[in-house]
Amino acid sequence: MPRYPLRLAPALALGFGLVLGAFCGCGNRGTGSPAGSKDAVGNPPPTASLPAPEGEKLFRNWKTPQAAVIFSGELSGYLEPCGCTQGQLGGLGRRYDLSERLRKQGWSLAQVDLGGVVHEPAVSRGGIKQAQTMFSVALRAFSAMKYDALAPSAEDFKLGVGEVIGQYLNLTDHPAVVCSNLKGTGGAELAGVKESLRVQAGKVRLGVTAAVDPDEIKKIPDAADWLEAAAPESALAKTLKDLEKDTDIQILLVQGGHEFAKKLATSLPGFDVVQERSIFADPAAEPEWLNGGKTLLFNVGKKGKYVGVVGVFDDPGAPLKFQRVSLGGRYQNAEPMRKLIDEEYQAELKDMKLVENFKQRNPLQAAPEAKFIGAKACQTCHPNTYALWQTTKHAQAFNALTANPKRNRVHDAECISCHATGFEIVSGYRSQELTPHLLGNQCENCHGPGSRHAEAPDDKSFREFLVKTVKNPQAGGLCIKCHDEDNSPKFDFSTFYPKIIHVKRDTYEDPKVHQGIKLDPAPAQPTAPGE
Amino acid sequence: MWRWLLFAAIVVALFFMAAMYPVFMSTESKPGKNVRFPVPAATEGPQPRAEVTPADLTYDFGVLSVQEKAKHGWVLKNAGEGPLKVMKGTSSCSCTIASLPDGQKELVLKPGESTPIELAWETKEAVGPFSKNATILTSDLDHEEIKFFINGTVRPPVIVLPESVIGFDDFPSISTPKKEFVIYSPDKADLEITEIATSRPDFLKIKPNKLTQEDLESLMKMEQTTSKAQDKVRFKSLSGVRFELSIKPGMPIGPFKEDIQLTTNHPKHPNVHIVVIGRSVGPISFSPGSVTMPHVSGMKGGKTIVNVFARGAADVHFEATHVPAPLKVEFVKVDDRANPQGKASRYNLVVTVPPDSKAQSIRDETIEFKTDHPEAPLIILPCYVVIEAR
């Protein structure tokens, strides 16, 4: 038997390694389990499965649907996951990732949104100008995701009906804005809004329309100048009849409360799928079935944390199935959305000088003519209190906005409202350049503008204002203005307050402390043209 | 010789590691690994059966106050013939399995045994509807996951009606618009407002009045119809104050957002914050108040419409005196709507970006018009348009 030279060993090893690599490396790296595998209880994986972290197994017992519709809505201004802390749900980036994954699995998809892109824009942290820009960004996101239909809503019209219609008019192909019972004044067709839409998803023809609650529209200040909302029942009956002629599934998006939606769903049983608004932030996992099991009624919660996926199947016993999907960490922040929100949106806010020109108003409880002076000025007489403050996260609040250069938020009024001092108030933060002394969450955010006290420290009336503003901070809602459920879900007053409390840390025997300090004048008021 | 053998072994090892890297590092669920149910369901032998009483897994607390603790319980019983393993799953509130001592992950209920399950929630300061849930995992094949829900609505101890944002429709700056609101507490019999502060004391006038008997009865009726039975015991005292809010003439033209703070004697809610929003307008007003088109296709062009309302004139002639290129403007009369104060007319100002426009940014610019309105000869409209190369 010939002996092979040992030098052939590496060549054989190389060949063996290549074979081994081919065998191991070509497994299923995509979503879902490899075909043929079973879970611990012996159930075969569904053929259309997605990774199931966070305890939620998706699309259980679903075969690949003939078509699927992703329902979203009530974004409420949350283009990104709620708040700035870790572990939050939602975000348009994750939504985009979900839809792309389903498409890659060969699903025939349609996407519709209930509207409610913003919430109370006039009193939102960033103000109405930012809310209008945010609305525009959301519409662009829907276009990029090839959304098919969008419903108008009273909440969105609070941006200004004209503003919203103008933005609808500038949408290109996607999405179409649909509503059956909204017309222009005098009953004319409302620019930018269609009565209904037909969508082909695979072999399934979908008919989509929407309805708004007329009572909600009436409450919009400038609605009467632009539009009329008719009672929806008769308009919807007509639209439904038209859609039933040539569509397989009829979908209704209802911008109204639960009772309003349920009434429409039961009085118009021709609609197979009805999406309503939500009472709670987190929606129920299971939908409601009405009309003897024929009509599916559901909501997707608020803040864009969840979407609902309705699958259409060739199964007379169960033609429709519903899956609630939480948009958690299993989905990535898809690059097109990241770019849109982190770069383009922020660039627009910077371009508009939104923060710098934010309309300022007078402080509520402050000494007359009092201005913000910054913590460094307070240090002059309160060095120990200042030293404690410097050790807290409050002092680093502004740095948190710039720590990640790819997610710089210094031009975003929603973020600046809690990460700088005196924002929105006369003499308060405007920009790093104009008000460099007001970065972070400083003394005056809680105590109010301190210039009068700094100039005349022994004047008790001036001191009284600074004390009054922090009286009973828990019940007075002082902390929760920023440490709310979205941005600070683990905030507990009794745990956190002791970390910042600073009673009697300084003494005032030094006569200089009682002389007062002369301060530089604050920058001039914003002078940009008004809205 | 040995070097070649060693080299071969290293090559094989490297290839193996490279090929298996994606498998080791994958965060997705692996075949055969049950990430959802760490309690393997019992598939052989006598079967356990999880039974919950009451059967309704959702409990509605109704209305709660702030800084209140609420809890509700169920009983989980093993009504089957085999042992039932029980574990706590994920939860968005505090969930206690009474028979599961701290630090122990799994509980085993023998046939016939049961354990109380309690969900608790502390409302803290956040108000509005809430829905929390907790999941129990079991080895019952038919009930691998049991989800409990607690819902409710947290109301502040002091409530503003109709709401804490008071919006004024557009009003002429020379007028004196008024609104009324009520502050009340459903659980304090002697609510008082000890101080009123506003960010605009020169224009916002706030006058308190006593609640009438009719007000009180109406509020009590509303409380009783909206509250659940257990709330009626809690919310049995009711008192409040009615306010008239008026805006003095001369409010500067433009949108405004101002604050009102009312200091109360309620220990849980000493400060009530109200936001007042609106827009004071001149004889000619625009809605929206600026031309904003942040994302227009230069190739296709685009347009926006601004609604124009002219008071005191049935017919106004507009002449554009400054329009930043390449924008085009056109006024289209809508109707001669009469209003109670006299003549008025409405127009649509259509602002167009023509197709094939060059990409550019039009900012810090205005569109200006001369008019023949006796009180508003010149109109300036801020403009922000970004034309993109697409």
Give per-residue pLDDT as tens, A333-378: 999 999 999 999 999 999 889 999 999 999 998 999 999 999 999 9
- Compute, in degrees rounded to 10, the torsion defined by CA atoms B155, B157, B162, B166: -110
With contacts defined as CB-CB under 8 Å, which chain B residues touch A123?
Answer: 165, 257, 275, 277
Contact predicate B156/B64, CB 8 Å: no
* Highest-pLDDT range among B118-132, B264-278, B286-300: B264-278
Q: Which of A456-460, B195-199, B291-295 has the lowest mean pLDDT?
A: B291-295
* Highest-pLDDT range among A269-273, A484-488, B102-106, B386-390: A269-273
Interface test with A, best of B307, B335, B366 (most A CBs within 10 A): B307
Interface test with A, best of B15, B136, B256, B336 (most A CBs within 10 A): B15
**pLDDT tens figures, B138-189:** 999 888 888 888 888 888 889 999 999 999 988 988 899 999 999 999 888 8
Selected residue with higher pLDDT from A140 and B104: A140
Which residue of B lies nearest to A40 if distances are taken between CA atoms? B34
Tell me whether strands A109-113 and A320-326 are parallel, antiparallel or unpaired. unpaired
Chain-chain contact of B92 with A226 (C-beta, under 8 angstroms):
no
* Highest-pLDDT range among A399-408, A447-456, B110-119, B281-290: A447-456
Tell me whether strands B94-97 and B114-122 are parallel, antiparallel or unpaired. antiparallel
Question: pLDDT over 90 for what percent of chain A?
Answer: 67
List C-alpha distances in Å: B80 to A350, B46, B98, B201, B364.
65, 8, 20, 71, 75
Instruction: Retrieve residue A526's tokens.
Output: 């914003």
* Highest-pLDDT range among A324-333, A440-449, B31-40, B55-64: A440-449
B237 to chain A, minimum CA–CA distance in Å?
20
DSSP E strands in B28-93: the ranges are 50-53, 58-64, 69-78, 84-91
Question: pLDDT over 70 for what percent of chain B?
Answer: 85
- Chain centroid offset of residue B143 CA: 34
Which residues contact residue B386 at a Cβ distance below 8 angstroms, ignoring those fewer than 6 apart?
A348, A351, B293, B294, B295, B296, B360, B361, B362, B363
Q: What mean pLDDT value characterizes chain A?
A: 86
Chain-chain contact of A10 with B300 (C-beta, under 8 angstroms):
no
What letter represents residue A315's amino acid?
A: D
* Highest-pLDDT range among A170-174, A462-466, B36-40: A462-466
Interface test with A, best of B290, B348, B361 (most A CBs within 10 A): B290
Q: Which of A79-93, A178-192, A227-241 has the lowest mean pLDDT?
A: A79-93
Chain-chain contact of A54 with B271 (C-beta, under 8 angstroms):
no
Which residue of A lies nearest to B89 if distances are taken between CA atoms? A55
B44 to chain A, minimum CA–CA distance in Å?
11
With contacts defined as CB-CB under 8 Å, which chain B residues touch A363?
Answer: 199
pLDDT of residue A36: 33
Tokens 């053929």 sit at which residue?
A47
**From A13, A140, A364, residue closest to B12, measured CB to CB:** A13
Tell me the average pLDDT across B342-350. 80
Selected residue with higher pLDDT from B231 and A141: A141
Q: Which of A78, A56, A481 is nearest to A302 (CA)?
A: A78
With contacts defined as CB-CB under 8 Å, which chain B residues touch A186?
Answer: 335
With contacts defined as CB-CB under 8 Å, which chain A residues touch B275?
Answer: 122-123
| Count of beta carbons in the 10 Å neighbourhood of residue A417 | 19
Tell me the average pLDDT across A173-181. 93
pLDDT score of A53 more than 90: no
pLDDT score of A30 more than 70: no
Tokens 């599934």 sit at which residue?
A249
pLDDT of residue B257: 93
pLDDT score of A82 more than 90: no
Q: What mean pLDDT value characterizes chain B?
A: 83
Chain-chain contact of A123 with B275 (C-beta, under 8 angstroms):
yes
Q: Which of A335-339, A387-391, B335-339, B355-359 has the lowest mean pLDDT?
A: B335-339
A38 to chain B, minimum CA–CA distance in Å?
5
Instruction: Assign A25 a pLDDT band (cuts: 50, 70, 90).
Output: very low
Q: Does B363 touch chain A if contact means CB atoms closer than 8 Å?
A: yes
**pLDDT tens figures, A113-135:** 999 999 999 999 999 999 999 99
Tell me the average pLDDT across B97-121. 83
**From A18, A38, A122, residue closest to B277, measured CB to CB:** A122
**From A13, A186, A351, residue closest to B363, measured CB to CB:** A351
pLDDT score of A32 more than 60: no
Tell me the average pLDDT across B216-242. 71
pLDDT of residue B186: 84
With contacts defined as CB-CB under 8 Å, which chain A residues touch B92?
Answer: 282
pLDDT score of A505 more than 90: yes
pLDDT score of A437 more than 70: yes
With contacts defined as CB-CB under 8 Å, which chain B residues touch A160?
Answer: 287-288
With contacts defined as CB-CB under 8 Å, which chain A residues touch B133?
Answer: 282
Contact predicate A308/A83, CB 8 Å: no
Q: Does B300 touch chain A if contact means CB atoms closer than 8 Å?
A: yes
> How many beta-carbon pairs below 8 A join chains A and B?
233
Chain-chain contact of B257 with A359 (C-beta, under 8 angstroms):
yes
Chain-chain contact of B126 with A480 (C-beta, under 8 angstroms):
yes
Q: For residue B137, what are the β-bridge partners?
A: B87, B145
Instruction: Assign A19 a pLDDT band (cuts: 50, 70, 90).
Output: low
With contacts defined as CB-CB under 8 Å, which chain A residues touch B35?
Answer: 52-53, 55
Chain-chain contact of B271 with A476 (C-beta, under 8 angstroms):
yes
Q: What is the pTM of this model?
A: 0.82
pLDDT of residue A11: 56
Chain-chain contact of A169 with B37 (C-beta, under 8 angstroms):
no
* Highest-pLDDT range among A55-59, B110-114, B136-140: B110-114
pLDDT of residue A1: 38
Instruction: Assign A4 a pLDDT band (cuts: 50, 70, 90).
Output: very low
pLDDT of residue A52: 32
Instruction: Assign B329 a pLDDT band (cuts: 50, 70, 90).
Output: very high
* Highest-pLDDT range among A37-51, A352-366, B1-15: A352-366
Contact predicate A319/A77, CB 8 Å: no
CA atoms of A162 and A184, how far apart (whole Å): 12
Selected residue with higher pLDDT from A148 and A29: A148
Q: Which of B293, B304, B291, B297 is nearest to B352 (CA)?
A: B304
Which residue of A lies nearest to B302 if distances are taken between CA atoms? A170
pLDDT score of A39 more than 50: no
| Residue ranges of B 203-232 with Cβ closer than 8 A to chain A | none
Q: What is the DSSP string of B252-272?
A: PSEEEEEEEEEEES-TT--EE
With contacts defined as CB-CB under 8 Å, which chain B residues touch A132?
Answer: 288, 292
CA atoms of A509 and A379, how far apart (whole Å): 15
**pLDDT tens figures, B216-227:** 888 888 777 665
Q: Does B334 touch chain A if contact means CB atoms closer than 8 Å?
A: yes
**At CA A312, angle to CA A300 and CA A36, rounded to 5?**
100
Interface test with B, best of A137, A163, A227 (most B CBs within 10 A): A163
The interface pTM score, or ipTM, of the predicted complex is 0.80
Selected residue with higher pLDDT from A477 and A111: A111
Q: Which long-range contacts (CB under 8 A, 24 or more apart) does A190-198 make?
A: A190/A165, A190/A226, A190/A227, A191/A165, A191/B305, A192/A165, A192/A168, A193/A152, A193/A165, A193/A168, A195/A239, A196/A239, A196/A242, A196/A243, A197/A148, A197/A149, A198/A243, A198/A246, A198/A247
CA atoms of B383 and B304, how far apart (whole Å): 12
Tell me the average pLDDT across B294-304. 88
B220 to chain A, minimum CA–CA distance in Å?
24
Selected residue with higher pLDDT from B262 and B379: B262
Q: Which of A157-166, A393-402, B280-289 has the lowest mean pLDDT?
A: B280-289
A236 to chain B, minimum CA–CA distance in Å?
28
| Count of beta carbons in the 10 Å neighbourhood of residue A186 | 8
Instruction: Assign A3 a pLDDT band (cuts: 50, 70, 90).
Output: very low
Interface test with B, best of A158, A259, A531 (most B CBs within 10 A): A531
Question: pLDDT over 70 for what percent of chain A?
Answer: 86
Chain-chain contact of A351 with B297 (C-beta, under 8 angstroms):
no
Contact predicate B354/B368, CB 8 Å: no
Chain-chain contact of B16 with A55 (C-beta, under 8 angstroms):
no
Instruction: Assign B234 a pLDDT band (cuts: 50, 70, 90).
Output: low
Chain-chain contact of A531 with B255 (C-beta, under 8 angstroms):
yes
Contact predicate A489/A480, CB 8 Å: no
pLDDT score of A154 more than 90: yes
pLDDT of residue B376: 87
Chain-chain contact of A41 with B37 (C-beta, under 8 angstroms):
yes
Instruction: Assign A17 a pLDDT band (cuts: 50, 70, 90).
Output: low
Chain-chain contact of B259 with A361 (C-beta, under 8 angstroms):
yes
